Amino acid sequence: MNRVVIIGLGLIGGSLAIDLRRLYPKVLLQGMDQNPDHLEQAQDLGLVDSEATEKDLSKADLVVLAIPVHATAQILGGILDQVGDQTLVADMGSTKAVICSAVKTHPKRRNYLAMHPIAGTEYSGPKAAITGLFEGKTNIICEVEKTSLTLQEKGQELCRELGMRIRYMDPEAHDKHLAYVSHLSHVSSFMLGKTVMDIEQNERDIFDLAGSGFESTVRLAKSSPNMWAPIFSVNRDHLLDSLNAYIENLEAFKALLERDDEPAMHQEMTAINSIKHILNGIKKN
């Protein structure tokens, strides 16, 4: 890995840059970012060596897109137009169907590997970049068969070096499952934050009363709207299904509460407690 271009120098792109510098001390890391402040910060922080120009794309061993999903879908074809035959182009987006579909007939489709590393924090921007963000996490790769064998192997090697476990899925299944295990959590957290801020708006110090439970549940309400509004929009159908199911469950629980059916609430919560085992599984990952 001699030359890498990272498009989007936020939390994900910046953290990848840190790891690549560690793995390949001699690599030339070049970056692009629509936001000139982010590009400057990323250079000041030493995340990238210089700004990449279009010409650099053709010489790169690896081009990574770490930008909002709708932007990836828009520019991925144009990026593929410019890269060399041996360049691996990978994206890190949280939805996969729209992006894969955008390049499905592209003559250089075999240069592209659709990835989604399940890694992140609620912070954003180059300053949020941290070392080892991907270590021990899962990377979902979609439509692997559409990528050339050599470039598949290059992508797999990169995952190994970053300490990631690979799972292969098709884009539709990916988007459906992620709506439930990730995108819905973000909506529920944002709306919980809104509900509490609305009622407590005139008594800010009331938040003294909130404990670590509240903090944990609304943590995702700190997430970047620039990243998440496009995810919600792009994965609208699956997210609507999950949101409808969630609201139905809340309404059903509300009905138990309205008729003060404590045994039924107890029974319901006891069944849900089994999520402990599932979460223990996540922790081990």
Give residues 165-194 in contact with a second copy (rule: CB under 8 A): 167, 174, 177-178, 180-182, 184-194
Residue closer to a second copy by CB (options 116, 154) is: 116
Is residue 149 at the binding interface for a second copy, with CB under 8 A as the rule? no
Window contacting a second copy (CB under 8 A); options: 24-32, 81-89, 100-108, 133-141: 133-141
Minimal distance in Å, beta carbon 28 to a second copy? 31
Of these, 11, 67, 113, 140, which contacts a second copy (CB under 8 A)?
A: 140
Q: Which two tokens stand for residue 61?
A: 């061993």
From the CB of 270, what's the least distance to a second copy, in Å? 5
User: Two tokens at 38?
Assistant: 């982010």
Question: Strand, coil or helix: what is 106?
Answer: coil
- Closer to a second copy by CB, 25 or 281: give it: 281
Minimum distance between the CB of residue 29 and a second copy, rounded to whole angstroms? 26
Cβ nearer to a second copy, comparing 51 with 268: 268
CB of 122 to a second copy, least distance (A): 7
Tally the C-alpha atoms within 13 A of residue 6's C-alpha that lie toward its C-beta.
30
Query: Among residue numbers 253 through 282, which ones bind a second copy (CB under 8 A)?
Result: 253-254, 257-258, 260, 262-263, 265-276, 278-279, 281-282
Q: How far is the CB of 76 from a second copy (least distance, A)?
A: 19
Least separation, in Å, of the C-beta of 200 and a second copy? Answer: 6
Of the pair 13, 31, the CB lying nearest a second copy is at: 13
What the block records as the tokens of 212 is 């670590």
Structure tokens at 114: 């659709």
Q: Smallest distance from the beta carbon of 92 to a second copy, in angstroms? A: 13
Q: By CB under 8 A, tell whether 285 contacts a second copy.
A: yes
Token match 């800010």: residue?
204
The sign of the dihedral angle between the CA atoms of 235, 230, 198, 193 is positive
Measure the CA–CA gap between 95 and 10, rounded to whole angstroms: 17
Pick from 38, 81, 122, 144 the residue near a second copy by CB under 8 A.
122
**CA gap 53, 138 in Å, rounded:** 31
DSSP 8-state class, residue 164: P
In this structure, what are the phi and psi dihedrals at residue 5, rounded to the nearest 5 degrees? -115, 125
Query: Please, are residues 146 and 89 in contact by the beta-carbon 8 Å criterion?
Result: no
| Distance of alpha carbon 161 from alpha carbon 144, whole angstroms | 19
Q: Is 219 in the site for a second copy (CB under 8 A)?
A: yes
- When the beta carbons of 110 and 219 are compared against a second copy, the nearer one is 219
Q: From start to end of 57-189, where are the E strands? A: 62-65, 88-91, 112-117, 138-142, 165-169
